[in-house]
Structure 1
Amino acid sequence: MRMTRSEFMRWPHKAITLLGMSGVGKTTLAYKLPQLKWFHYSGDYRIGTKYLAEPILDNIKRQAMQVGFLRDLLRSDSIYIASNITVHNLEPVATFLGKIGRADLGGLPLEEFKKRQRLHREAEIGAMRDVAQFIEKAHTIYGYDHFINDSGGSIVELYDNRTYDMLAEHTLIVYLKPDEEIEQKLVQRAVDKPKPLYYQEAFLDEKLGEYLAEHGLASTDDIVPDDFMRWIFPALVAHRRPRYEAFADAHGYTVEAKQAEDITGEDDFLDLVARVID
């Protein structure tokens, strides 16, 4: 969506999609806006609570069934299992995605890992296509003035033009662009605590080939899961960077993530977006 500064400021029910790498500050920024006025739509939360809810529970139950005590209780319907997903706790989604590599270190075989990656892609497409209906519901049912779509970091790797066109039609796209310092912090965070992520399949295949050759491994089953995730993350940042920029150039606007860190409330946020539109 494109508009002039005055059109944006007069827009009675603003709807904005925040775009950027996981950890760049999208959720933090969304929570700086008045929560009684802005409906906070978390794409990752929607993925976990609707589109991957059953696979997530199946994965947890599969692990629980390996414990004799829990197995007997589950089979007799004496207990039930539920995931407690929140906007700030998306661990069940990450646990389902998992890590590729050695089974004795909690890794997944290649085909199972890719199966879960594909399910996540379809779930993210579904969650983003739900944005339009949630904009309507946020205003007409819940009485919110404005809407903020806190999208997932992998949105630029969905390669689904229908989804992109829908977001561009119904929301103003704002890309939080990290500088070199912020990117280094993201990389260091991934090194310190490797986190399961979505990878576009062609990119994953290419990097797996490089990793196996570089480390002299015969199979993905020999990969140490966390080591691979530390190795691939800087390449993932570089891979996604031009895709974020192209998305913003085609459909929206770019804000320096460093500037977004200084925002303290709604007025600051609206002023920054308006200046970028100018």
Structure 2
Amino acid sequence: MRLTAREFRDWDSKRITLLGMSGVGKTRLACMLRRRDWFHYSGDYRIGTRYLDEPILDNIKAQAMQIPFLRELLRSDSIHIINNITVDNLAPVSSFLGKLGNPELGGLGLAEFKRRQALHRDAEIRAMRDVPAFIDKAQSIYGYRHFINDAGGSVCELDDPETLDTLAEHTLIVYIKASHEDEQELIRRAESDPKPLYYREDFLDRQLAEYMAAEALDYVAQIDPDAFVRWIFPRLFYERIPRYERIAADHGYTVSTEELWAVEDEAGFLQLIERALERQR
């Protein structure tokens, strides 16, 4: 969606999609706006509660069945397990995605890892294609005037033009570009607390082959899961940047993390978007 600053200002029911790496401030901003009159649509929350709910529960149950005490309770239907996913706690989604490597260190084999990656990609596509329906629900059911789509960091990896076209048709796409200092901080955080990530299959195959050769490993089961995430994250980060930039060039607009961190309220956010529209007119 392309708008002038004036058209955006006069837009009675604003609809915005935020793109960018995890940690650039998308969720912080969306949570701030939802205290006003904005419906906060979290792509990752939708993935976890709708499209990966059953696989996540199956994974948790499989782990619980390895504990004799819990196994008997589950088999006798004496207990049940539910997901407690919230917008602020997406750990079940992350734990399902998992990390590649040594099973004794919590890692997954390559076939299972790729299966979960494929499930996540499909779920993310479906969650993003749900955006138009939730724009309608936000107004007709919940009475929100505006809509903010807090998209996952891997949306740029989907290689699905129809999904991007849907987002561009129904929302104003805003890419949050990390400054050099914020890039280094995001990489530092990933190294100190390596988390599960989504990778395009061709990217994963290339990087995995390079890592195995560099570390002189013969089998995926020899990989330290956290060490691999620390090694691959900077490569993933810089692989994603031109993808985000291409989406912004074709469909949307760009703001920097420095600009975003200066936003303290809704008025400041709206002014930031107007400036972005003006400079990319």
Which range, TM-score by smaller chain? over 0.9
Tell me the percent identity: 62
Match of 2:25 in 1: 25
Map of 1:225-240 to 2, 5 A cutoff? 225-240=225-240
| Cα offsets for 1:43-94 (capped at 9, x unmatched) | 0000000000000000000000000000000000000001110111100001
For 1:254, the aligned partner's letter is: T
Deviation at 1:234, TM superposition (A): 0.3
Deviates more, 1:30-39 or 1:41-50: 30-39
| Cα offsets for 1:121-169 (capped at 9, x unmatched) | 0000000000000001101111101000000000000000110000000
Alignment TM-score, normalising by the size of structure 1: 0.99
Query: What is the CA–CA distance in structure 2 between the aligned matches of 1:106 and 1:45, rounded to whole Å?
Result: 24
| Cα offsets for 1:12-68 (capped at 9, x unmatched) | 100000000011110011122252400000000000000000000000000000000
RMSD: 0.6
For 1:187, the aligned partner's letter is: I
Match of 1:252 in 2: 252
Asked if the contact 2:34–2:40 (Cα under 8 Å) also holds between the matched residues in 1, the reply is no
For 1:246, the aligned partner's letter is: R
Alignment TM-score, normalising by the size of structure 2: 0.98
Query: What is the CA–CA distance in structure 1 between the aligned matches of 2:226 and 2:60, rounded to whole Å?
Result: 21
Asked if the contact 1:34–1:265 (Cα under 8 Å) also holds between the matched residues in 2, the reply is no
Aligned length: 278
Structure 2 residue runs of 5 or longer lacking an equivalent are none
Query: What is the CA–CA distance in structure 1 between the aligned matches of 2:72 and 2:39, rounded to whole Å?
Result: 43
Map of 1:61-210 to 2, 5 A cutoff? 61-210=61-210
Query: What is the CA–CA distance in structure 1 between the aligned matches of 2:149 and 2:75, rounded to whole Å?
Result: 40
Query: What is the CA–CA distance in structure 1 between the aligned matches of 2:34 and 2:78, rounded to whole Å?
Result: 43
Asked if the contact 1:22–1:152 (Cα under 8 Å) also holds between the matched residues in 2, the reply is yes
Query: What is the CA–CA distance in structure 1 between the aligned matches of 2:149 and 2:156, rounded to whole Å?
Result: 15
- Does residue 78 of structure 2 align to residue 58 of structure 1? no
Asked if the contact 2:20–2:175 (Cα under 8 Å) also holds between the matched residues in 1, the reply is yes
Deviating 4+ runs (over 4 angstroms): none
SS of match in other structure, 2:16: strand
Asked if the contact 1:36–1:144 (Cα under 8 Å) also holds between the matched residues in 2, the reply is no
| Cα offsets for 1:201-225 (capped at 9, x unmatched) | 1000000000000000011111000
SS of match in other structure, 1:148: strand
Query: What is the CA–CA distance in structure 2 between the aligned matches of 1:95 and 1:5, rounded to whole Å?
Result: 42
Query: What is the CA–CA distance in structure 2 between the aligned matches of 1:189 and 1:208, rounded to whole Å?
Result: 22
For 2:30, the aligned partner's letter is: A
For 2:149, the aligned partner's letter is: N
